[in-house]
Copies of this chain bind each other. A is one copy, B any other.
Amino acid sequence: MKESSVNDRILETASRLFYDQGYNLTGINQIIAEAEIAKASLYSHYNSKTEILLAYLDSWAQDFSQRLESHLKSIKGPKNKLFGLFEFHIEMYRHSNYTGCPMLKIKAEVPRTETAVWERIEKSKKAIRQIIKKQVQDMDNKSGLADQALANLIYYLLEGATVSATIASSPDDIKSALDSLKKLI
């Protein structure tokens, strides 16, 4: 019944390569070479490269929401939780080589016809927007904007600042967005 570590090595290696060098530029042969497993073993765990991609997206989404939740848990108050959301993204630049949201990277590589992939991307973004919306509803909104409009705005700020930060290779844009947000709400 014990979970095979082979499956873990496949997913860890594939995740790293998909993220660092792109999905289409990562071949099955590179995955098995760096994971040090046999090709037949890979195809007994996954039926296709696409299945590995879906597992990558799912595991990343789960890991992300889990780490975000534990980061926000200790923060009191909806406004501070929103600030914490930005700080969480700033932190991602410190650990590891953050080069942008994995979902957005895959989105640019995979055609819309791959519905299973796109569903996961949309689901992941809806989850973030829902988290923001909940905090806005719980807080004292004196911005002059409706709750939904403010929640949207905060989401656009986060998404835009994160994209900018990956272009500039620096978290400064997220910091700037956070500073402005603190003055707005």
Residues of A within 8 A of B (CB): 21-22, 24-25, 99-100, 104-105, 107-109, 111-112, 121-122, 125, 144-145, 149-150, 152-153, 155-161, 163-164, 166-168, 173, 176-177, 179-180, 183-184
Q: Measured between alpha carbons, how far is A104 from B160 in the docked complex, in Å?
A: 12
Select A167's contact among B105, B109, B121, beta carbons within 8 Å.
B121
Select A160's contact among B107, B112, B158, beta carbons within 8 Å.
B158
**Interface core residue of A24, A122, A150, A163 (most chain B CB under 10 Å):** A163
Select A156's contact among B22, B149, B150, B164, beta carbons within 8 Å.
B164
Task: Count this chain's copies in the assembly.
Answer: 2
Q: How far is the CB of A37 from chain B (nearest CB, A)?
A: 25
* Known pairs A24-B24, A161-B160; A153 contacts B177 (CB<8 A): yes
Q: Measured between alpha carbons, how far is A156 from B111 in the docked complex, in Å?
A: 26
* Known pairs A122-B167, A144-B183, A167-B107; A155 contacts B160 (CB<8 A): yes
Q: How far is the CB of A107 from chain B (nearest CB, A)?
A: 7
Select A173's contact among B112, B156, B168, beta carbons within 8 Å.
B156
Contact A104 B163 (CB under 8 A): yes
Q: Measured between alpha carbons, how far is A155 from B159 in the docked complex, in Å?
A: 11
Contact B22 A183 (CB under 8 A): no
Contact B157 A156 (CB under 8 A): yes
Contact A163 B163 (CB under 8 A): yes
Which 6 pairs of residues, A with B, have the shortest CB-CB distance? A160-B160, A156-B160, A108-B108, A159-B160, A24-B24, A105-B108
Residues of B contacting A122 with CB < 8 Å?
167-168
CB-CB nearest in chain B for A122 = B167
Contact B183 A145 (CB under 8 A): yes
